[in-house]
Structure 1
Amino acid sequence: MNVKSIQILSLLVFSVSISCKNESSLEKEINALEIDFVVERFDEVFSKTTTKELPKIKQVYPFLFPERIPDSVWITTINSDLQKEMFSEGVKQFPDFKSEKESFENLFKHVKYYDKTFKIPRVITVADGVDYRNKLVLQADLLIINLMNYLGEEHEFYQNIPVYFAERMKPSQITPEIAEKYAMKYAHQSQRKTFLDEIIYHGKLLYFKDVMIPNFSDADKIGYSQEDINWAEINEAQIWSHFVENEMLFSTDPKLFTRFTIPAPFSKFYLDIDNDSPGRLGQYIGWQIVRAYAEHSDVDIISLMQAESDQIFKKSKYKPKR
């Protein structure tokens, strides 16, 4: 190794060292923030509710009890075999919810650091049947988590659910999916007409997770298996070339969104590689574009979430290595 190479290597090591120190200092500052909240285990409370106690419970959680449904229906529900099984499975998988609460706290601290107006939500867990398309609710300052949607990808409740949905129905997905709900609140684009608009929008949501839940793996952030994330990383340049060479980026064909951004067993290139690929690879590429933009721009996360897709794309100088 010549002198010039040694100097370049030393400079790179120094730059990485400074970057790591800055990140460590930032995380310490964020961790020092004080926030206070509890996780209300409504699933446990409801499982023990009697006819006599029901009116009091309804006063505490009125938003969980539609007025059109009589009390007799709620009592019948509590005592049904299916509901008892759901109560049992929720407690079995989440006996104390301690690690999940710590994870939420870390997320809330990060959001609070970047948005001083952020208000900690009221966090409530329920056991309300399996609904893989609506796994949790974030409305105003209320966060409701249906534990039945996070029991583990091989749980018997999920036997009739497509595998590519069931794979994300595990405890490790709760915090990333809460982060995504917040990301959607901050994200804005004046248009989502082209394929490039769409993948960059999803890229923003994923980059928001980079900032707000940095301790999670890339696989958990996007909801891939480790094999899926490895495949995407290895084939990133080829995926990008396919999009460019087939003039997809500025296309407004909605079929492209279906093929590359919505949940699916695989991405549809209409090539031999399809069955080996994970779904939603358009989201993955959008993520890498936004990451590249963040590297080339001195912009805070809140401003980044508001940036237009053409601005992000031009300034990203995105060019994956082959």
Structure 2
Amino acid sequence: MKTGYKFLFSVLLLSLCFASCRKNPYKVNISSIRADIEIKRLEKDLFTMNPEEIVPKLPELKAKYGSLMQVFSYAVNTGDINDPSFGDFLVRFCTDKQNNDVFDLTMKLYPDLSSVERDLENGFRHYKYYFPGKAVPEVFSCITGFNASILTMSGEPVLGIGLDKYLGSDCAYYPGLGIYTYMSARMKPEYIVPDCIYGWGASQWDFLSMNYAADNVLAEMLHEGKLRYFTRSMLPDVEDE
């Protein structure tokens, strides 16, 4: 199956190359394709909950978020969500002053994610056009203590957005975290969807699974080019940087 998808991935790149004479070779007819995206907001569920209720309501949270909760746990370095200490960690995470300040800032910038949902739907409609047999991921948002921007998990159709990595290039937290200016320049709302699509592509076609002839800088450059081409193809209305 992986070989088949690698072939389709290559066909996608070739077809777009041959179509380069068109005004926008990435434009395709997706009018009959649906890809419903509803972002589950884990950060809201966690930080608006009474800390004393977190442990008792942990089964409810696990039921709602499923493997999404595990992806979040890995991002914040707490391991298995079934570990007895996981609930205590969540309490500490949600009562940390800086995390609460970051949550407040996140909610000011992102009180609503409908525009992100809409743009992701557009991207994944293109994804289903090119790869009709592939699953569209379940999407959630969170804050991760600045540990991750895009979260994925091998073998699971899940995609997470670490909103604390998109608080704006002038966010006062970033310099103190050692984040260089060229990096924070991309930590803005308009990069969420392209980063999601790129991250999803990287999770579906990771470097090792592509079986390049050699593991060297040239192969890495080739793979990076493919992922950027993939992202551009899924988001034809987004201009190249």
- Equivalent in the alignment of 1:165: 183
* Alignment of structure 1 residues 18-167 onto 2, 5 Å: 19-20=22-23, 26=28, 29-50=29-50, 51-52=52-53, 54-55=57-58, 56-61=60-65, 62-63=69-70, 64=72, 66=81, 67-131=83-147, 134-139=148-153, 140-160=156-176, 161-167=179-185
Q: Distance in 2 between matches of 1:46 and 1:129?
A: 13
Shift in Å at residue 88 of structure 1? 0.7
- Check conservation: 1:189, 1:201, Cα contact below 8 A: no
Does 2:224 correspond to 1:202?
yes
Q: Any idea what SS the aligned residue of 2:101 has? A: helix
The alpha-carbon distance between structure 1 residues 117 and 156, as it changes in their structure 2 partners (threshold 3 A), is: same
Return 5+ residue gaps in structure 1 as ranges.
1-15, 220-322
Q: Distance in 2 between matches of 1:150 and 1:93?
A: 9
Q: Distance in 2 between matches of 1:109 and 1:40?
A: 19
Q: Any idea what SS the aligned residue of 2:30 has? A: helix
Q: Higher relative CO (CA 8 A, sep ≥ 6), structure 1 or 2?
A: 2
- Check conservation: 1:135, 1:146, Cα contact below 8 A: yes
Q: How many residues end up aligned between the 2 structures?
A: 198
Match of 2:212 among 190, 193, 211: 190
Q: Distance in 2 between matches of 1:207 and 1:23?
A: 10
Q: Any idea what SS the aligned residue of 2:22 has? A: helix
Equivalent AA in structure 2 for residue 122 of structure 1: E
Identity of aligned residues (%): 23
TM-score, length-scaled by structure 1: 0.56
- Check conservation: 2:137, 2:159, Cα contact below 8 A: yes
Shift in Å at residue 151 of structure 1? 0.8
Shift in Å at residue 82 of structure 1? 1.3
- Equivalent in the alignment of 2:76: none
Q: Distance in 2 between matches of 1:52 and 1:198?
A: 47
- Equivalent in the alignment of 2:239: 217
Q: Distance in 1 between matches of 2:219 and 2:86?
A: 47
Q: Distance in 1 between matches of 2:180 and 2:149?
A: 15
More helix by share: 1
- Equivalent in the alignment of 1:303: none
Shift in Å at residue 85 of structure 1? 0.7
Q: Distance in 2 between matches of 1:197 and 1:175?
A: 26
Equivalent AA in structure 1 for residue 53 of structure 2: K
Q: Distance in 2 between matches of 1:115 and 1:173?
A: 23
Return 5+ residue gaps in structure 2 as ranges.
1-18, 74-80
Larger radius of gyration: 1
TM-score, length-scaled by structure 2: 0.73
Q: Any idea what SS the aligned residue of 1:128 has? A: coil
